């Protein structure tokens, strides 16, 4: 009995020691000077937001004043959690990447799958599905919590190029590699939820029904997206860019450095060089949560991620890197265009931002769309 008691006390002391090593920080300090925190185990009080291509920790006090005002959040590999983004674009060196690159060595993180973690993961995976004709991964809650984990950081999250446009170094973390800091979760506590307000978006699409994609086993989203480009989008001002967006994905049997993967959206991605070649020495892997993207939502997601890849591959020089806000705005514009020509009556984004409604007058459509996208990007901590 004494031995069991001693072991229990030893285990408790070990847990205390692990948490005692955590440094208390806030989101804004990390975003301001991320290089000061690389590799440290930290404790952060923050607000976690799960959006279409966002799984982030924001500062509870509001904005920090930077173009990307958040820390990306990842679970350790093998967690198999339910929460996270619906889609993530991961960029890494290809097997034939010619530049100097050394994959960083990271300390292992083991996630404490406690009752608090299970509550946290559950709250962030609940989907709002009342009435919206097409709501692209509209997560029901934002969650406030105290998070402990390993911070991985870079001084500059941008993908670097030489004067000819060739990629010479890779950026940060998360979707589009645009976050200068990533928290790999070790434990979570003090969990509380705030339900996001979808009142306006529900009213806008009251009575509408999301189109049924038919048998999901027979649904090919890339083929469906291609038909949108060749059909409804063909005679629109967005036709050429739409072709580039969907053309970013490989045709059957083609190897162009772009890969679609289903699963692993919310877990740490491989930072080392990939095992296959790419025409430009760069691999673009799109991770989709197929359980959350069905039918039309999957097609909108393909246009979104294809636009990102087309934009990144069309950049020609070291000063040609568009700000994150512009890249995201372009991608959502393409998604919305594909929805409008496909007959979507309305389109809602996580947090309740309505970015399209067929009842809008012609004079108001552009301004309303821009306001809706801006509102969503603000919720996703991406600023002008």
Q: How many CB atoms lie within 10 A of CB 159?
A: 19
What sign has the CA pseudo-torsion 303, 206, 378, 77?
negative
Q: Which two tokens stand for residue 43?
A: 């404790």
Q: What are the structure tokens assigned to 84, written together? A: 């996270």
Which of 31-35, 81-85, 215-219 has the weakest average pLDDT? 215-219
What mean pLDDT value characterizes the chain? Answer: 88
Distance (Å, rounded) from C-alpha 177 to C-alpha 174?
5
Q: How many structural domains are present in the chain?
A: 1
Q: Report whether 250 contacts 260 (CB < 8 A).
A: no
pLDDT tier for residue 3 given thresholds of 50, 70 and 90? very low
Select from 173, 183, 181, 185 the least CA-distant residue to 89.
173
* Confidence at residue 207, expressed as pLDDT on a 0 to 100 scale: 58
| pLDDT value of position 266 | 96
Residue 123 has pLDDT above 80, yes or no: yes
pLDDT band at 381 (very low <50, low <70, confident <90, very high): very high
- Residue 10: inside a domain: no
- Binned at pLDDT 50, 70 and 90, residue 12 comes out as very low
> Which comes out higher in pLDDT, residue 210 or 369?
369
Within 60-209, where are the H helices? Answer: 115-123, 199-204
More confident residue, 278 or 99: 278
Contact call for residues 189 and 180 (beta carbons, < 8 A): no
pLDDT at 131: 52
- Percent pLDDT > 90 in the chain is 67
Contact 352, 201 (CB under 8 A): yes
Residue 182, both tokens: 């990533």
Lowest mean pLDDT segment, chosen from 167-171, 261-265, 270-274: 167-171
Least confident of 77-91, 97-111, 122-136, 350-364: 122-136
The predicted-structure confidence for 92-104, as pLDDT tens digits, reads as follows 999 999 888 888 8
pLDDT of 18 > 50? The answer is: no
Query: Looking at residue 169, what is its pLDDT?
Result: 84
Mean of pLDDT values over 94-122: 94
Coil/strand/helix, residue 343: coil
| 170 close to 92: Cβ distance less than 8 angstroms | yes
| Mean local confidence (pLDDT), 153-171 | 85
The confidence band for 20, taking pLDDT boundaries of 50, 70 and 90, is very low
Instruction: Kindly tell me if the per-residue pLDDT of 267 is higher than 70.
Output: yes
First to last CA, the chain: 63
Which of 277, 272, 338 has its CA nearest to residue 90? Answer: 272
Task: Classify residue 191 by its DSSP letter.
Answer: E
Mean pLDDT of 137-142: 92
DSSP letter (8 states) at residue 139 = B
Check residue 143 and give its pLDDT: 98
Alpha-carbon distance 40 to 19, whole Å? 12
pLDDT at res. 218: 55
What pLDDT is stored for residue 178 in this prediction? 94
193 domain residue, yes or no? yes
With a cut of 60, say whether residue 213 has pLDDT above it. Answer: no
Mean pLDDT of 218-246: 90
Low-confidence winner among 204-218, 290-304, 357-371 (lowest mean pLDDT): 204-218
Long-range contacts of 235-241 (CB under 8 A, 24+ apart): 236/337, 236/341, 238/333, 238/334, 238/337, 241/307, 241/310, 241/334
Within-domain flag for 99:
yes
DSSP secondary structure of 228-291: HHHTTTTTSTTHHHHHHHHHTSPPTT--SSEEEEES-TTBPPP-S--SS--TTSEEEEEEE-TT
> 3-state DSSP call for residue 9?
helix
Q: Which of 57, 54, 146, 149 is nearest to 106 (CA)?
A: 149
The pLDDT assigned to 4 comes to 43
The upper half-sphere exposure of residue 210, i.e. CA atoms within 13 Å in the direction of its Cβ, equals 19
The dihedrals phi and psi of 336, each to the nearest 5 degrees, come to: -65, -40
- In total, the chain counts a number of residues equal to 384
Residue 11 located in a structural domain: no
Give the residue-averaged pLDDT of 82-101: 93
- Residues 308, 328: Cα–Cα separation, whole Å: 8
**14 in a domain, yes or no?**
no
182 - beta bridge partners?
72, 152
Domain residue limits at 269: 22-384
Cβ neighbours of residue 228 under 8 Å, at least 6 residues apart? Answer: 242, 299, 303, 338, 341, 342
Residue 13 pLDDT > 50: no
Q: Which tokens go with 376?
A: 């969503």
């Amino acid at each position: 009995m004494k031995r069991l008691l001693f072991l229990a006390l030893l285990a408790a002391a070990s847990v205390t020691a692990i948490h005692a090593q955590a440094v208390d920080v806030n989101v804004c300090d990390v975003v301001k000077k991320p290089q000061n925190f690389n590799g440290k185990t930290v404790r952060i009080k923050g607000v976690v937001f799960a959006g279409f291509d966002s799984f982030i920790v924001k500062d509870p006090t509001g904005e920090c004043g930077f173009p990307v005002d958040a820390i990306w959040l990842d679970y350790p590999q093998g967690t198999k959690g339910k929460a996270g983004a619906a889609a993530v674009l991961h960029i890494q060196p290809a097997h034939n990447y010619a530049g100097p690159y050394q994959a960083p060595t990271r300390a292992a993180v083991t996630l404490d799958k406690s009752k608090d973690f299970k509550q946290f993961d559950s709250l962030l995976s609940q989907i709002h599905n009342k009435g919206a004709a097409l709501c692209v991964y509209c997560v029901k809650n934002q969650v406030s919590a105290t998070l402990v984990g390993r911070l991985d950081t870079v001084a500059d999250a941008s993908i670097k190029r030489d004067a000819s446009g060739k990629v010479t170094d890779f950026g940060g973390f998360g979707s589009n590699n645009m976050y200068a800091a990533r928290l790999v979760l070790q434990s979570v506590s003090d969990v509380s939820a705030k339900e996001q307000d979808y009142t306006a978006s529900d009213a806008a699409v009251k009575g509408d029904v999301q189109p049924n994609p038919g048998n999901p086993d027979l649904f090919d989203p890339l083929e469906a997206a291609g038909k949108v480009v060749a059909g409804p989008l063909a005679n629109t001002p967005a036709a050429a860019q739409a072709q580039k967006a969907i053309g970013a994905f490989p045709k059957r049997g083609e190897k162009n450095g772009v890969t679609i993967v289903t699963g692993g959206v919310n877990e740490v991605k491989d930072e080392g060089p990939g095992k296959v070649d790419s025409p430009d020495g760069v691999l673009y892997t799109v991770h989709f949560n197929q359980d959350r993207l069905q039918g039309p939502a999957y097609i909108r997601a393909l246009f979104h991620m294809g636009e990102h890849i087309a934009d990144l591959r069309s950049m020609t020089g070291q000063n040609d890197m568009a700000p994150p806000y512009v890249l995201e705005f372009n991608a959502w514009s393409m998604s919305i265009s594909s929805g409008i020509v496909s007959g979507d009556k309305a389109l809602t984004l996580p947090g309740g931002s309505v970015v399209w409604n067929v009842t809008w007058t012609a004079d108001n459509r552009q301004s309303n769309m821009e306001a809706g996208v801006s509102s969503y990007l603000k919720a996703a901590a991406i600023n002008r």
